[in-house]
């Protein structure tokens, strides 16, 4: 007897094939039958007339490494149809290293709450090797499947010690030791290695303000890790250094397949930046050269909706890209920030930094930065520039005054990229750009893009820029194949990870981000989406319904449903 029989659904297999109406039989966590009509007995029959069934979505860029230890159900992603997550991105992982050191690397880069960090530290489990970490992950009551990458920052700090990893070059022996650890991780089943060159990812703790360990490496160190991934056809993920354009040439050289097997390389990120309206046009010709002429296997990642970030006064990841902004983020208290603002030298430098347009990633346009909440109610809903005009003040001076006066009681929002529909659709449709880059689990106070796959599907349905089956393929079977994951496809014998959704809900606009007080964070705020409750009828992981009409089952995170995914046997592309 079947556990579940889903009848009369429009079935999308995740491979881009035309959808068909039929039934799906589930038994003991597996799909055992897919047919236009299944007559087998079942303990529960679900009439899915008018609904779509798709594979569970794959989120290729998350930072759930710490949250998995506290709340392994990952309900915010699962409620949006995600049943597989890739962790260990941007050189950050907890696979090796001492707990406090890892917390200091993670906390500021991903703006994780102090409570979340403290909670993790209080219950952190000790493991000595990447293989032991994978074994630990397999013992957790995982909600979604987890595909781990090995973070270079963690390995570098573990081998060299945190201080040396931030201040000196490794010895030949230390390079060899890093290579051995990375090799053992790939042999144990990590799907790849991530490095980070992004100059605005900074430390907290004793070394607060310093850039994280991976950024202190030189090209030969990165190349050794890339070579390990090339040998085993594993994923190598990198974020370029926008301050050093030569870093792009280094990455292109790493990704070349001329005279050697191609490196399975994924790069962050392809975006339509507000401050540079032609930047998005570069990605298509660059990828054509990289993947066609240089015989690479490169995939950029893009966000499927406008890149809107919420900020608390001067505490925001948007300030990490200039020195005085980074100083404000380094302060542990409002009093420290007030000391900075009291200095005329600091204010003058902040003004220069703010107006300096050299290689910025955030537009810093005060006309496009809106106040959401403030002790002065009349400011709410206005941009900083509008307030300055109303008060006949210099906009930057007013901005600094408001940051000084209200500190984190001033909540503001700005959209920095992907706000235009046409470029966004073009990037999401490009065969060498993967829809992803949600950063789920990170920046919980600043953004909440847990619904990235649904956003793509909504835009496909409302604009017809691609067919529904093509859009579903882009966030299921396609990333599964490229990342070499046994997931993302509906077929007999596959694990029963699937989504039952109402296509009428896809006609609605992309849901706004809203703020909740999350019990997972002990009541601290988290930005989330709630529009998917009108789309997602139910989510099944291992044949268990874990989400039903907006309600998350207590089974999610309390019993093992997801698994740790190791690289599949699929050959090179």
Which residue blocks in 51-151 are alpha helix, DSSP H? Answer: 67-70, 75-78, 99-109, 114-123, 130-139
Contact 371, 410 (CB under 8 A): yes
Q: What share of the chain is helix, strand, coil (3-state, %, to 5)?
A: 40, 20, 40
| E-strand stretches of 118-260 | 145-151, 192-194, 235-238
What is the per-residue pLDDT for 358?
Answer: 81
pLDDT of residue 244: 78
460-472 mean pLDDT: 98
Q: Enter the tokens of residue 245.
A: 């354009």
- The confidence band for 511, taking pLDDT boundaries of 50, 70 and 90, is confident
State yes or no: pLDDT of 480 exceeds 70: yes
Query: Max alpha carbon distance in the chain (Å)?
Result: 79
What local confidence, expressed as pLDDT, does residue 243 receive? 76
Say whether pLDDT at 572 is over 60: no
pLDDT reported for residue 521: 84
> Residue 303: pLDDT above 90?
yes
pLDDT of residue 10: 98
Could you give phi then psi for residue 245, rounded to 5 degrees? -60, -25
Tokens for 332? 């542990």
Q: Is the pLDDT of residue 573 over 70?
A: no
**Cis peptide leading into 269, omega within 30 of 0?**
yes
Strand partners, 499: 54, 539
Mean pLDDT of the chain: 95
Q: Which of 356-360, 535-539, 556-560 is the least confident region?
A: 356-360
What's the pLDDT at 173? 98
- The answer to whether residue 525 scores a pLDDT higher than 60 is yes
3-state SS class at 6? strand
Supply the pLDDT for residue 120: 84
Average pLDDT on 504-512 reads 90
| Residue 554 contacts residue 547 (beta carbons within 8 Å) | no
pLDDT at 510: 85
Residue 387 scores a pLDDT above 80: yes
Q: Helix (H, G, I), strand (E, B), or coil: what is residue 469?
A: helix
What does the pLDDT average to over 252-257? 89
For 146, the token pair is 């987890």
Beta strands in 257-350 (DSSP E): 264-268, 297-302, 307-312
Q: Tens digits of per-residue pLDDT, 195-245? A: 999 888 999 999 999 999 999 999 999 999 999 999 999 999 999 887 777
User: For 430-442, how does the pLDDT look when each residue is reduced to its tens digit (9 = 90+)?
Assistant: 999 999 889 999 9
| pLDDT reported for residue 531 | 85
pLDDT tens digits, residue range 400-457? 999 999 999 999 999 999 999 999 999 999 999 999 889 999 999 999 999 999 999 9
Check if the beta carbon of residue 213 is closer than 8 Å to that of residue 157.
yes
E strands in 522-572: 524-528, 536-541, 544-548, 551-552
Angle (nearest 5°) at CA 370 between 366 and 373? 135
Q: What is the pLDDT of residues 118-167, one digit of tens each?
A: 888 888 777 999 999 999 999 999 999 999 999 999 999 999 999 999 99
DSSP 511: P
CA 206 to chain centre: 27
In the 8-state DSSP scheme, what is residue 225?
Answer: H
- pLDDT of residue 73 exceeding 70, the answer is yes
For position 397, what pLDDT does the model report?
Answer: 98
Exposure string for 391-422, b = 16+ CB within 10 A, e = fewer? eeeebbebbbbbbbebbeebbbebbbbbbeee
Residue whose C-alpha is closest to residue 96's, from 193, 169, 4:
193
Using DSSP bridges, classify how beta strands 307-312 and 551-552 pair: parallel, antiparallel or unpaired. Answer: unpaired
Q: Which of 178, 164, 11, 195 is nearest to 92 (CA)?
A: 195
Q: What dihedral angle (degrees, nearest 10) is formed by the CA atoms of 127, 128, 134, 136?
A: -20
E strand intervals along 17-62: 20-27, 30-35, 42-47, 52-55, 57-59
> Tokens 């995939």 — which residue?
299
At 221 the pLDDT is 97
């Amino acid at each position: 007897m079947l556990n579940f029989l889903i009848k009369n659904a429009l079935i999308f297999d995740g491979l881009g094939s035309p959808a068909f109406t039929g039934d799906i039989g589930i038994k003991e966590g597996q799909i055992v039958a897919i047919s236009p009509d299944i007559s087998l007995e079942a303990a529960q029959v679900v009439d899915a007339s008018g609904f779509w069934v798709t594979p569970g979505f794959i989120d290729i860029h998350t930072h759930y490494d710490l949250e998995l230890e506290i709340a392994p159900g990952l309900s915010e992603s699962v409620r949006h149809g995600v049943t597989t997550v890739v962790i260990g991105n941007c050189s950050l992982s907890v696979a090796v290293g001492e707990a406090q050191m890892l917390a200091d690397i993670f906390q500021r880069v991903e703006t994780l709450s102090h409570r979340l960090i403290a909670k993790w530290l209080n219950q952190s489990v000790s493991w000595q090797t990447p293989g032991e970490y994978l074994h630990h992950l397999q013992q957790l009551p995982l909600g979604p499947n987890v595909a781990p990458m090995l973070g270079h920052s963690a390995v570098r700090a573990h081998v060299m010690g945190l201080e040396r990893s931030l201040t000196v070059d490794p010895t030949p022996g230390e390079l060899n030791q890093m290579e051995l650890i990375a090799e053992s991780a790939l042999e144990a089943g990590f799907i790849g290695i991530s490095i980070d060159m992004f100059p605005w990812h900074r430390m907290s703790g004793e070394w607060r303000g310093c850039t994280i360990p991976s950024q202190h490496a030189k090209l030969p160190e990165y190349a050794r890790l890339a070579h390990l991934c090339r040998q085993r056809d594993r994923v190598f993920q990198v974020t370029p250094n926008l301050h050093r354009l030569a870093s792009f040439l280094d990455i292109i050289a790493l990704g070349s397949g001329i005279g050697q097997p191609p490196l399975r390389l994924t790069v962050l990120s392809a975006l339509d930046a507000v401050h540079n309206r032609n930047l998005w046009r570069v990605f298509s010709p660059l990828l054509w050269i990289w993947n066609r002429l240089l015989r690479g296997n490169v995939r950029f990642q893009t966000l499927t909706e406008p890149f809107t970030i919420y900020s608390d006064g001067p505490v925001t990841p948007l300030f990490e890209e200039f020195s005085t902004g980074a100083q404000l983020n380094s302060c542990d208290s409002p009093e420290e920030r007030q000391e900075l603002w009291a200095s005329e030298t600091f204010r003058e430098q902040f003004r220069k930094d703010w107006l300096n347009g050299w290689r910025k990633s955030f537009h810093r346009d005060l006309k496009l930065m809106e106040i959401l909440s403030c002790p002065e109610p009349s400011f709410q809903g206005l941009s900083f520039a509008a307030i300055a005009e109303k008060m006949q003040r210099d906009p930057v001076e007013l901005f600094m005054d408001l940051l000084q006066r209200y500190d984190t009681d001033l909540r503001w929002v700005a959209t920095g990229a992907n706000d235009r529909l046409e470029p966004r659709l073009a990037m999401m449709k490009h065969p060498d750009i993967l829809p992803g880059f949600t950063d789920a689990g990170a920046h919980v106070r600043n953004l909440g893009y847990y619904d990235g796959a649904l956003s793509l599907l909504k835009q496909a349905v409302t604009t017809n820029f691609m067919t529904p089956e093509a859009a579903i393929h882009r966030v299921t079977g396609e990333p599964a194949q490229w990342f070499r994951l046994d997931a993302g496809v509906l077929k007999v014998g596959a694990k029963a990870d699937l989504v039952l959704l109402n296509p009428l809900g896809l006609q609605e606009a992309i849901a706004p981000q809203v703020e909740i007080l999350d019990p997972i964070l002990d009541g601290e705020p988290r930005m989330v989406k709630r529009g998917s409750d009108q789309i997602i009828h139910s989510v099944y992981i291992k044949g268990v319904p874990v989400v039903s009409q907006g309600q998350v089952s207590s089974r999610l995170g309390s019993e093992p449903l997801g698994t740790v995914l190791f690289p599949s046997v699929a050959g090179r592309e």
